[in-house]
Structure 1
Amino acid sequence: MSYSSVPILTARDLTLSFGTLRALESVSLEVHPGEVLAIVGESGSGKTTLLNTLYGVLAPGAGEVHFGENGKLDRCVQTLPRQQLRHLHRSAWGYVHQNPRDALRMEITAGGNIVERLMAAGEKHYGTLREKALFWLQKVEIDPKRIDDLPGTFSGGMQQRLQIARTLISHPYLLFMDEPTSGLDVSVQAGLLDLLRNLVSEQRMAVILVTHDLAVARLLAGRIAVMQRGRIIETGVTDQVLDDPQHPYTQLLVSSVLPA
């Protein structure tokens, strides 16, 4: 699949330490409209730290993240006023957490969760909100009759689908995903991955996907970046990197998941 040659987000020389621990070391990357970039590596390699730095939740000690649309990378995440960053997170960007409970409001209904981003953007008409909630419940393959149920009555896989509906209802152009299928049963994972692949293609979003699962990266991502000890040590087209890894760490990572 081909992508625009002009990125919508770039990171240059990101460095971040927690005390004496260097979590990120001179990390640079770029993301293009419509592509899925997977960030893979072992636990503790810095994947989620990088994702949260790109998203603006963590501030790097050095380096910057620039973003924009229509070929203009004219805004910097690190210097964006807090109110503007919050608006960006509620509209043009989306974040799918590993644990859906980190995103869902457990005390309000499934429908209320789904439309919260629309309400924050100013939509107040009850009929319109309920219609959109019903539409997105169907979109993520949840029975629309459950619109008034609380998220706590849903299974883990259904909560993840509800989080996805809540996030995508505002049609973000850039989606951040942190281990979206981790902890789910294999059969539930398969259904959720098919759903994500279809929605990403249909919505034409760019996606930054953090995963430790190379099979998930192969299924969803066109390009892959391999992290080790806070550094990106190999990057390229997903199939090429996984089928013919060049860095010794990537070779070890790939061989560790191959059947004996």
Structure 2
Amino acid sequence: MSDINHDTPLLRVNGLSKFYGNRLGCSNVSFELYPGEVLAIVGESGSGKTTLLNCLATRLQPSVGAVEYRMRDGQFRDLYRMSEAERRFLMRTDWGFVHQNPSDGLRMTVSAGANVGERLMAVGERHYGKIRETATDWLGRVEISADRIDDQPRAFSGGMRQRLQIARNLVTAPRLIFMDEPTGGLDVSVQARLLDLLRGLVADLGLAAIVVTHDLAVARLLSHRMMVMKDGHIIEAGLTDRVLDDPQAPYTQLLVSSILQV
């Protein structure tokens, strides 16, 4: 893509905190994400990683802090100073969001082809033949047979639904994808195939991605960099291999050793 500048961040996060009354969701998070970079946010249930993801993806209003995104014209915009309509447009076009439960990210009562085609229509495509052709191509890319294009997602297995959700998100060539436990709830063999598929697509398309997971194997396979969260705080951050092979924080050491002992 012509607008990619790998020396300039795509996302800048500064002092982001979210409180639910007196309860802390996440506290004072700051980082930059660059084009083509995959960041994993890891931690146990209740660590604050999903709260952070939802604040970054404008699904949840932070209490304090700023999230700035570099638009296609090269200008940074504070996401929470945009209008609701502007943010919705970003979510339909430049961003994708892959839910843990694919039914949250799909329309279950329309066909697989229509699920993919809706995103194309959101970016202005109106030619039915082209929409169907592109949808067929994307179903192939996520290993769904073309003869299933008119089937509804509820006729699909969990793994197929998740692959369809990925196709729906990636068809508009977004620059940033958010993923919330993308392999959660799937059988181990299905998880492995899905991770291989995701890794290939993210690399081929040069996507930036933020992946929330409690699974360190998912983080190692997909991400360049990772942040470890505990009780709403980032307690360690760095290159994924460095954090996993030489963890510094006692909590990270505990996480890594517990995985090794399983």
TM over 0.5: yes
Give the C-alpha shift of residue 73 in structure 1. Answer: 5.3
- What residue number does 2:243 align with? 241
- What residue number does 1:166 align with? 168
Give the C-alpha shift of residue 19 in structure 1. Answer: 1.9
Partner SS, residue 192 of structure 1: helix
- What residue number does 1:31 align with? 33
Which one of the candidate residues 42, 45, 63 is aligned to 2:44? 42
Give the C-alpha shift of residue 7 in structure 1. Answer: 1.0
Letter in 1 for 2:12: T
CA–CA separation in structure 2 for the residues paired with 1:252 and 1:10: 30
- What residue number does 1:206 align with? 208
- What residue number does 1:66 align with? 68
- What residue number does 1:4 align with? 6
1:180 and 2:177 aligned: no
Give the C-alpha shift of residue 5 in structure 1. Answer: 3.5
Q: How many residues are aligned here?
A: 258
CA–CA separation in structure 2 for the residues paired with 1:40 and 1:206: 17
Which one of the candidate residues 207, 224, 228 is aligned to 2:230? 228
- What residue number does 1:79 align with? 81
CA–CA separation in structure 2 for the residues paired with 1:184 and 1:197: 17
Question: TM-score if structure 2 supplies the norm length?
Answer: 0.96
Partner SS, residue 27 of structure 1: strand
Letter in 2 for 1:212: H
Question: TM-score if structure 1 supplies the norm length?
Answer: 0.96
Partner SS, residue 189 of structure 1: helix
Q: 1:127-178: CA deviations, max 9, x gaps?
A: 1111011101100000110000010000000000000000000000111000
Partner SS, residue 26 of structure 1: strand
Which one of the candidate residues 140, 143, 152 is aligned to 1:141? 143
- What residue number does 2:119 align with? 117
Give the C-alpha shift of residue 4 in structure 1. Answer: 2.8
Give the C-alpha shift of residue 235 in structure 1. Answer: 0.5
Alpha-carbon distance change, 91 to 26 in structure 1, aligned in 2, over 3 angstroms: same
Q: Any stretches of 5+ residues in structure 2 without a counterpart?
A: none
* Equivalent pair of 1:7/1:71 in contact (CA under 8 Å): no
CA–CA separation in structure 1 for the residues paired with 2:218 and 2:76: 32
Letter in 1 for 2:34: H
Alpha-carbon distance change, 232 to 159 in structure 1, aligned in 2, over 3 angstroms: same
In percent, how many aligned pairs have the same letter? 58
Q: 1:7-46: CA deviations, max 9, x gaps?
A: 1101111111112211111111111111100000010101
- What residue number does 1:216 align with? 218
- What residue number does 1:108 align with? 110
Give the C-alpha shift of residue 126 in structure 1. Answer: 1.1
Give the C-alpha shift of residue 6 in structure 1. Answer: 2.0
* Equivalent pair of 2:39/2:225 in contact (CA under 8 Å): yes
Give the C-alpha shift of residue 62 in structure 1. Answer: 0.6
Alignment of 1:17-28 (within 5 A): 17-28=19-30
**Which 10-residue stretch deviates more, 160-169 or 14-23?**
14-23
CA–CA separation in structure 2 for the residues paired with 1:27 and 1:37: 14
Which one of the candidate residues 171, 192, 195 is aligned to 1:193? 195
CA–CA separation in structure 1 for the residues paired with 2:114 and 2:52: 31
Tell me how large the CA RMSD over aligned residues is.
Answer: 1.3
Letter in 2 for 1:50: L
Partner SS, residue 181 of structure 1: coil
CA–CA separation in structure 2 for the residues paired with 1:142 and 1:183: 20
Alpha-carbon distance change, 72 to 130 in structure 1, aligned in 2, over 3 angstroms: closer
CA–CA separation in structure 2 for the residues paired with 1:23 and 1:73: 30
